[in-house]
Amino acid sequence: MIGIDVGSTNIKIVDGKSFKKYPIIKLNEILEKYNNEESFATGYFRKRFKNYITEITAAIYGIDKDVEVIIDIGGQDTKIINTKTLEFIMNDKCGAGTGLFLQTIAMYLNVPIEDFGKYYSKNPLNLNNTCAVFSISEIINYLVSGYTIKDIIASVNYTIAKKIANINPYECETLTLIGGVAENKAFVRYFKEITEKEVYVPKNPQFINAIGARKYGIKYSTKNHL
């Protein structure tokens, strides 16, 4: 069984042995190869596949630990899922609190987004604008004032952690972070400090929804003798 997470920017594929990632431009190629009874998809373009489930279901199936809240930080939106009631909220009105915010800043500063996790500060700058576009102007002002790119990136990590922590409406003691942003160690550290909660980051957090789609597909196929 193949699990596929067709996100807004990347396609993640899990087959039980390997983890593969492709840019979204490869979607038609992926459809030709994997759009069959041996695959279950989730994500933005899941309905292009024969078998699919929602990102909410995929996230819950993909987590291997009992937690109260799952926070899925994607490229275009952030979903906060209450695993006990199956309620969820989604931040999809702008890029704030998503991978797009970090990607925009990374492109402006010409720093690989994979390096953002290296930058942490005990005294991050106060970035008032969590909108990526307006934050650029604020960042320019800080650079002109003499702050370093390291200062800026640490502050961006703090800002997105604070943003996501503040939009979580659910009372809980345990949370899981998944999605590409969960690989940013500085962001995770800030998030733990802000929330003062038990925060779990699974292995390969960017592939959790693909893992969940695969697990669901195995269960569905066994139940229906496919």
DSSP lists the bridge partners of residue 4 as 13, 41
pLDDT of residue 116: 96
Specify the CATH number for 2-60+207-224; select among 1.10.3720.10, 3.30.420.40, 3.40.640.10, 3.30.70.20: 3.30.420.40
Tens-digit pLDDT profile for residues 141-176:
999 999 999 999 999 999 999 999 999 999 999 999
Tens-digit pLDDT profile for residues 84-103:
999 999 876 556 667 888 88
More confident residue, 52 or 101: 52
CB distance 138 to 114 below 8 Å = no
pLDDT of residue 101: 85
Whether the full predicted model's pTM is greater than 0.75, yes or no, is yes
Task: Give the fold, CATH level 3, of 65-201.
Answer: Nucleotidyltransferase; domain 5 (3.30.420)
CB distance 132 to 101 below 8 Å = yes
Domain span(s) for CATH 3.30.420.40 in the chain: 2-60+207-224, 65-201
Among 81, 63, 95, 76, residue whose Cα is nearest residue 204: 63
